[in-house]
Amino acid sequence: AIHVYPRRGTMCARGRRARVGTRAVAAAAPTLFCIDRDGVINVDVGAPGVIDVRDFVLLPRAAMAVKMLNDAGVRCCVVTNQTCVGKALATESYVRDVIHGEMRDALAREGRGAKVDGVIYATRTREQAPACTRRKPAPGMVLEALETFDETDAARVVFVGDTVTDMQAAARAGGVRRALVCTGYGKVMGEALRKANVSLPTTLTCAADVPLGTMMIPDECFPVDVFEDLFHAVTCILNETP
């Protein structure tokens, strides 16, 4: 389902700082951010995700990140698997209206009017639809976001997520930029990079760059840019020098 809404840390140095690897070409200025929900915008409560609105809590600085995108004129769309619906643990209307309603309200409260421009979500489980082309790691929802916001250049789209499936969905959508955050499931990556004295942001260019015991990132996903959290990702990417 797609719901589009009417549109109206530490600051990093300009330009991407790659400690592990570098990208050969500077990215084009982004026009659209696709943002995973659990573990990126709000606290990840674990499987099957938030099924009670009382458990929905924004992560620190998430609202500020969304507001920064709003102020920069960059569209932002939440792209999320919500298989709790397929598992009959929550109704689609509860997720759409109550939980996502609280997300919009919380963003506005904590981010001085911050708002997302749309929410795209997939509800079916792997068992219900093993060949589903929407549920991440499939690229369907990311492609829907590009179509919804009339973006024809995947290079100007950023997907911010905390899991390998997020990175796969972005890569399979035609080269959407992959931004992995060290919140949610990405915490293990951040901890390992800090132990290796790698400062963020950084760029992982191949499997050899990934610390052991963190994530099994397939080759199709590289390069992957790594940031502390959503705010760090937005701040750094918006301040890059082409």
Distance CA 134, CA 60 (A): 29
Q: Token pair for residue 130?
A: 């093993």
Quick one: DSSP state of residue 83? T
Cβ neighbour number for residue 81 with a 10 Å cutoff? 27
The residue type found at 217 is: I
Q: Which residue, chain included where needed, has tokens 């982004």? A: 30
Distance CA 56, CA 41 (A): 10
Cβ atoms of 194 and 169 within 8 Å: the answer is no
Q: Which residue, chain included where needed, has tokens 């990215």? A: 27
Distance CA 172, CA 140 (A): 9
Under DSSP, is residue 227 helix (H, G, I), strand (E, B) or coil? strand
Which positions are catalytic?
36, 38
